[in-house]
Each structure stands twice: as structure tokens, then as C-alpha cells.
Amino acid sequence: MSAFVSSGIKILIFIASSIYEINSFAQADCHKVDQVTYFNVVKNGYTLDFSWGTASGVNSLDFIIETSRSAETWTVLDYLKGNNALEYSLKGLIPKWSSAYYRLKVEDGGEEYTYSKPVKVTMYYRDLEDLVVYPNTLLPNTNIKLKFNKEISRGSKVSVFTINGVHQFDQVLQKDTEVIELLPLEEGNYFIEIIDAPDVLRMKIVVK
């Protein structure tokens, strides 16, 4: 991300695709006897929902959702402590990349662990590197500029909502541009939606 974006600014950018998609796969690629009966990845709007089941008699496990761009180097997306249940879920997780692999790592508290078979999911949202936001600190009642690495088409509509969904204002671009300047905003959290057909970009910004 560009140096123009301060670490205090939280930004999420998405391009809408199908609202609901599911990828299911059984436990595989393991270091020991299967412990997971199923592992589902659901593409739900702009986030991912994960659910899985454990075999009867499997207790006190730690569950780790891992992600990778290439299925080679893995990083942790989220973590859940086992509670002796047969079914678990983690919902609303935000992908790190537009296209990535996901797998479930199961730990028994010792040295034993199990992996599910990796599954690839494509979200069709724009990676964070595609956007520069400035000024560095988003202050109340100060114009905010969004710079993209591609032109946003003339006639594209920009809408701003509060975090609670209250509509603030709309802007319609009068020319093709890589820079969008928003009207000043008061302190708070906002969602910005840019309709650049056929894409719909959404982001969250914090003004403080």
C-alpha cells in the first residue's frame, strides 16, 4: 500500500460478484486419522463463511483457518478454540486477496495436527494495492481523494453511507478519471460505493 495511506485508516474494497457460492470438500491430506467430516467455504457477498464438522469422539481441538495466494506459503486468517462440539463455524471473514486458497488446520493440543485439502476461492474484489487514499489522516470536514490504478468511467456513481446504512450523498463523475474527490465528511465510519459498470466497488473509511 502506498505511503499516502496512514496505518490508522481502515479500508476495505470489493467488487460484487455472485452473492452466494459454496465450496465443499472432505478432509484429506492429513498427518493422522481423519478428524474432520466436512469443511465448507461459503462466498456470501463480500465475505467468506466457514463451517466444518468433527468426527465423534474428537475433543479439545484448536481450529485454524489458513490462506495462501499460491497454496505454498500459508498465513493464519482466523482461529477458533474447540469446545467438544461436532460442528463449528466462523462467519464474515474478510479475504486477504481477490483469489486465494483456504484450508483448515486441526491441532489436538500436542504435536499432532491435520490439514484439509486446499480449496481455491475467487472473490472478484479489488486488492488494497489498487487504491491510494489521501490526505494521510482523514480529518473531519476535509476533502478526501481516492486514487485508483485504472480510470473510473464518466457517469459512474459514487454514494456515501454511514456505517448504519444512512445515505449521505451521491456524486456522478463528469469525466473519466483515476482520482475521485469526495465532499467533506464529519467524524465517523462510512461505506463508499462506486458503481463503475459492470463493477461495483465498496470500501470502508474512518474519519477521525
Cα–Cα distance for residue pair 28/192, rounded to 1 Å: 41
C-alpha distances (whole Å) from 132 to each of 3, 6, 11, 100, 146 are: 8, 10, 10, 23, 6
Q: Which amino acid is present at 166?
A: V
In a domain, residue 69? The reply is: yes
Strand pairing category for 144-152 and 131-134:
antiparallel
Show the domain range for 200: 127-207
151-176 pLDDT per residue, tens? 778 888 888 988 778 899 998 988 88
In a domain, residue 27? The reply is: yes
Looking at residue 31, what is its pLDDT?
46
Cα–Cα distance for residue pair 158/201, rounded to 1 Å: 9
20-33 pLDDT per residue, tens? 444 544 444 444 44
Tell me the mean pLDDT in the region 136-157.
83
Helix or strand (DSSP H, E) at 80: strand 75-81
Looking at residue 75, what is its pLDDT?
95
In a domain, residue 186? The reply is: yes
Looking at residue 40, what is its pLDDT?
92
88-114 pLDDT per residue, tens? 999 988 888 777 999 999 987 667 788
Chain-wide mean pLDDT for the chain?
Answer: 77
CATH of the domain at 163: 2.60.40.3080
pTM comes to 0.53
- Widest CA span of the chain, in angstroms? 64
Q: Last residue of a domain, which of 61, 88, 122?
A: 122
Residue 40 near residue 52 (C-beta atoms within 8 A) = yes
In a domain, residue 81? The reply is: yes
For residues 35 and 109, membership in a common domain is answered with yes
- Percent over 90 (pLDDT), the chain: 23
For residues 91 and 33, membership in a common domain is answered with yes
Looking at residue 6, what is its pLDDT?
41
Output DSSP code: residue 137: S
Tell me the mean pLDDT in the region 35-42.
89
Domain count along the chain: 2
Cα–Cα distance for residue pair 158/75, rounded to 1 Å: 34
Q: Determine the number of helices (DSSP H) and then strands (DSSP E) in the chain.
A: 0, 17
Looking at residue 50, what is its pLDDT?
97
Residue 100 near residue 94 (C-beta atoms within 8 A) = no
Q: Last residue of a domain, which of 61, 89, 122?
A: 122
70-91 pLDDT per residue, tens? 899 999 999 999 888 889 999 9
In a domain, residue 93? The reply is: yes
185-198 pLDDT per residue, tens? 999 988 888 777 66
CATH of the domain at 60: 2.60.40.10
For residues 80 and 174, membership in a common domain is answered with no
Q: Which amino acid is present at 204?
A: K
For residues 35 and 112, membership in a common domain is answered with yes
C-alpha distances (whole Å) from 165 to each of 158, 159, 162 are: 15, 11, 5
pLDDT above 80: residue 129: no
Tell me the mean pLDDT in the region 43-68.
84
Residue that is written with C-alpha cell 491510494 in the block: 132
Helix or strand (DSSP H, E) at 206: strand 199-207
In a domain, residue 14? The reply is: no
